[in-house]
């Protein structure tokens, strides 16, 4: 299955605050916040939603096509890293004017996060056309439209509808930047819609659609619930509720959602049930949670299957093992 992953490609600056954000907030001063956090640690890592999803897919044996815009600084190291790990980087556009996007994130001891994102070259993603890419590679079985320049996201979904390409709508943090009309254009007609629980509510508020109305606009809706797992629905109701895979150690939650998407999409490629797809996603997400950095983990098939079996059962694990072999 040929999967194209569109979206952000970035450098992550990950910091740790040895306290709780909630303890720094004064209830009657929330309209005039001025805060500075002295952090204990700084990690500079490769990131970006599309790059993270693509890395996860490649870890599971697929060869995803990464589609996005970067700066010249991407070519020095990041491109070689992704190619070495099995990601097709031939559809990445390099800006002559801007640096690769930057993600700055501080995590407190409760795993709450405060973050900022500098778009940089990502803004030029709006000029990327999918049709020439599809013609060059021969076929695109699924296009992932993940957080990116909002104009690029809307353009990509419009192109998918025009070309008859199935797509996953993954609006993520860009829901905060998009208005209701833009969100409706992004979501309408999606094969899959994936958000976390907060984004789910925000999406419904911005579009004015009820939960049932959303399910008439997309084929399958996946809502991630953090440590509580995820729920999968379609127009007929709940398809499955999947528990999260337990972590061996909790290092940093950055990129956990991206890893879930990678695992879910790998399951789709392997033609697993939606429940099994979410189980694979949950297991990959746990790998990221156990590391600092979104692309610092390595999936070894035998270990992955054994951990999977301990959570979801031997029968389900055997089906995954056949695809990882």
Catalytic status, residue 149: no
Q: Which residues pair with 261 in a beta bridge?
A: none
Where would I find the H helices in 62-146?
78-84, 130-137
The catalytically annotated residue of 188, 234, 258, 318 is 258
DSSP 13: E
Radius of gyration (C-alpha) of the chain in whole angstroms = 19
Tell whether the torsion through CA atoms of 187, 188, 194 and 195 is positive or negative: positive
SS3 307: helix
Phi first, then psi: what are they for 57, rounded to 5°? -60, -45
Q: Are 178 and 150 in contact (CB under 8 A)?
A: yes
Q: Which residue has the tokens 């104009």?
A: 151
In angstroms, rounded to a whole number, what is the distance separating the alpha carbons of residues 123 and 208? 28
Which amino acids are annotated catalytic?
258
């Amino acid at each position: 299955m040929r999967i194209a992953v569109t979206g952000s490609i970035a450098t992550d600056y990950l910091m740790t605050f040895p306290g709780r954000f909630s303890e720094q907030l004064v209830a009657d001063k929330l309209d005039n916040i001025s805060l500075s956090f002295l952090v204990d640690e700084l990690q500079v890592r490769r990131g970006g939603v599309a790059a993270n999803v693509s890395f996860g897919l490649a870890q599971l044996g697929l060869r995803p096509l990464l589609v996005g815009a970067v700066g010249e600084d991407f070519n020095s190291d990041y491109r070689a890293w992704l190619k070495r790990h099995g990601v097709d980087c031939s559809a990445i556009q390099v800006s002559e004017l801007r640096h690769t996007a930057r993600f700055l994130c501080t995590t407190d001891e409760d795993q709450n996060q405060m973050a900022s994102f500098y778009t940089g070259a990502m803004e030029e993603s709006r000029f990327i056309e999918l049709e020439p890419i599809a013609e060059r590679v021969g076929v695109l079985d699924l296009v992932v439209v993940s957080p990116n320049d909002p104009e690029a996201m809307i353009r990509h979904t419009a192109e998918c509808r025009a070309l008859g390409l199935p797509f996953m709508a993954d609006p993520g943090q860009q829901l905060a930047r998009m208005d209701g009309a833009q969100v409706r254009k992004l979501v309408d007609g999606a094969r899959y819609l994936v958000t976390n629980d907060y984004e789910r509510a925000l999406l419904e508020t911005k579009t004015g659609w009820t939960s049932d109305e959303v399910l008439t606009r997309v084929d399958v809706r996946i809502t991630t619930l953090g440590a509580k797992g995820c729920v999968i629905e379609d127009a007929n109701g709940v398809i499955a509720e999947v528990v999260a895979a337990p972590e061996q150690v909790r290092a940093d939650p950055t990129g956990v959602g991206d890893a879930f998407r990678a695992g879910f999409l790998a399951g789709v490629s392997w033609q697993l049930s939606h429940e099994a797809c979410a189980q694979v996603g949950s297991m990959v997400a746990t790998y990221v949670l156990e590391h600092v950095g979104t692309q610092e983990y390595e999936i070894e098939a035998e270990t992955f299957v054994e951990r999977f079996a301990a959570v979801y059962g031997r029968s389900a694990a055997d089906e995954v093992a056949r695809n990882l072999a």
